[in-house]
Amino acid sequence: MDETEVVAHIAEDVRDEIRHGHVEDDVTHVLEDRLDKAGVHLRPEAIDDLAEDIETDASI
């Protein structure tokens, strides 16, 4: 799995967990933690943008 696929997989997991009410912490922090654990390091701005997209998608 390349880095793009890892990011997409983690984002989808977080999105699903939000929909099921399993994420109560700040999405940016949850996403950053999971990406770090997976060995993926993105710029803080990229993580913020992705977290915002995830929150928007999960609320639809």
**DSSP labels, 18-58:** HHTT---S-HHHHHHHHHHHTT----HHHHHHHHHHHHHHH
Residues 10-57: tens digit of each pLDDT: 999 999 999 999 988 899 999 999 999 999 999 999 999 999 999 998
What is the tens place of the pLDDT at every residue in 1-17?
A: 899 999 999 999 999 99
